[in-house]
């Protein structure tokens, strides 16, 4: 992998793009013979690594799985804003694979996770991990553009259309949660009964996003309306962000 050239630090104090991703990539790919085509094994290997990563996993992913499994109709299209090394993308792909296990043609032809990652170097790691998990047919990593730009491009390319996004996941920079949600509303891609899932709303926090979804949306007549719940995934002794904000689209234009 190329050496890191853009070391950064999150408001939580967690550093990234400082070489730990490349180290993890080498560790995981050296185990490819035992991890191939097993999303569960790939995620377990990543979680077992001594490299600390900003990933959506464990109880948070379990809470999201429960919400997605309860959706009617079941989800087919997930858009992820902020993929990082691909843990959550693998999780979403695995969830869709399980939901549609009895209908493989639907999974193959109608289901997709569009995983958006700005940093092309980190995105290449995500692509390798997704491929190792055997989910390259379900997960498409979209690299090199900001989340909003990718949303627009997916619409222009015909990959997303009106009411086609079942789940929109926010896990990039919190200051962009609300603008990117409002862009999704403007593009009309959300559907009634769909979900918004947002990580890190407690730490470092996304107050403008939370105020918006808790108010039910913009309040515009004929616009989207939301109902939201803050789901705690904290366990005794746990540190760091523990809230997943799960918001239902109760009305759509």
What size, in residues, is the chain? 253
What integer pLDDT is reported at residue 59 of this predicted model? 86
Positions of the chain with pLDDT under 70: 1-18, 51-54, 235-241
- All structural domains of the chain, each given as residue ranges with its CATH number in brackets, are 56-251 (3.40.50.150)
* DSSP per-residue letters across 39-84: HHHHHHHHHHSSS------HHHHHHHHHHHHT-SSPP-EEEEE--T
The token duo for 153 is: 């491009």
What integer pLDDT is reported at residue 147 of this predicted model? 95
What integer pLDDT is reported at residue 19 of this predicted model? 78
**Whole-prediction pTM:** 0.90
What integer pLDDT is reported at residue 235 of this predicted model? 63
What integer pLDDT is reported at residue 3 of this predicted model? 34
pLDDT tens, position by position, 127-172: 999 999 999 999 999 999 999 999 999 999 999 999 999 999 999 9
What integer pLDDT is reported at residue 205 of this predicted model? 87
What integer pLDDT is reported at residue 238 of this predicted model? 59
């Amino acid at each position: 992998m190329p050496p890191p050239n853009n070391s950064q630090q999150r408001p939580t104090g967690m550093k990234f793009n400082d070489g730990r991703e490349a180290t993890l990539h080498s560790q995981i790919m050296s185990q490819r013979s035992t991890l191939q085509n097993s999303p569960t094994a790939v995620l377990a290997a990543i979680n077992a690594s001594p490299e600390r990563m900003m990933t959506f996993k464990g109880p948070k992913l379990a809470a999201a799985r429960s919400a997605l499994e309860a959706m009617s109709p079941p989800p087919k299209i997930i858009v992820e804003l902020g993929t990082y090394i691909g843990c959550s993308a693998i999780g979403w792909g695995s969830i869709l694979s399980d939901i549609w296990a009895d209908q493989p043609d639907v999974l193959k032809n109608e289901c997709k996770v569009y995983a958006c990652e700005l940093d092309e170097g980190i995105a290449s790691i995500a692509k390798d991990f997704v491929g190792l998990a055997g989910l390259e047919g379900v997960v498409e990593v979209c690299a090199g553009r900001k989340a909003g730009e990718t949303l627009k491009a997916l619409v222009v390319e015909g990959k997303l259309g009106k009411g086609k996004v079942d789940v929109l996941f926010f896990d990039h920079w919190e200051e962009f949660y609300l603008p990117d949600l409002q862009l999704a509303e403007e593009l009309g891609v959300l559907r009634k009964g769909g979900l918004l899932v947002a990580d890190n709303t407690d730490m470092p926090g996304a107050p403008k996003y939370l105020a918006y979804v808790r108010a039910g949306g913009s309040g515009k007549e004929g616009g989207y309306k939301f109902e939201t719940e803050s789901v705690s995934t904290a366990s005794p002794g746990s540190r760091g962000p523990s809230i997943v904000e799960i918001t239902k689209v109760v009305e759509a234009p």
